[in-house]
Amino acid sequence: MTLTSTSLYEILYVSTLAPEAPLSVVGDIAAKARQANAERGITGLLIFDGMRFCQQLEGGQKQVLALLERIRQDSRHTNLQVLHHGELAARRFKRFSLGYCLVEDDDVLERMEHMDGQAALDAFAGLLSGLDLDT
Read off the CATH number of the domain in which 15 is found. 3.30.70.100
Write down the pLDDT at residue 6. 60
For 45-84, the pLDDT digits (tens) are 999 999 999 999 999 999 999 999 999 999 999 999 999 9
Q: How confident is the model at residue 95 (pLDDT cuts 50, 70, 90)?
A: confident
Write down the pLDDT at residue 52. 93
Structural domain including 29 reads 8-128
Q: Note whether residue 31 is domain-resident.
A: yes
Write down the pLDDT at residue 102. 82
For 13-22, the pLDDT digits (tens) are 999 999 999 9
Write down the pLDDT at residue 1. 43
Q: Note whether residue 69 is domain-resident.
A: yes
Write down the pLDDT at residue 135. 41
14-37 average pLDDT score: 92
Write down the pLDDT at residue 134. 46
Q: Note whether residue 3 is domain-resident.
A: no
Q: Whole-angstrom Cα distance, residue 65 to residue 114?
A: 22
Write down the pLDDT at residue 103. 84
| Strand ranges inside the chain, DSSP E | 8-17, 43-48, 52-59, 77-88, 99-102
Write down the pLDDT at residue 113. 87
Q: Note whether residue 60 is domain-resident.
A: yes
22-46 average pLDDT score: 91
Write down the pLDDT at residue 57. 96
Q: Note whether residue 2 is domain-resident.
A: no
Q: Whole-angstrom Cα distance, residue 45 to residue 100?
A: 6
> For residues 58 and 8, is the Cβ–Cβ distance under 8 A?
yes
> For residues 64 and 57, is the Cβ–Cβ distance under 8 A?
yes
Number of domains in the chain: 1
Query: Which DSSP letter does residue 123 get?
Result: H
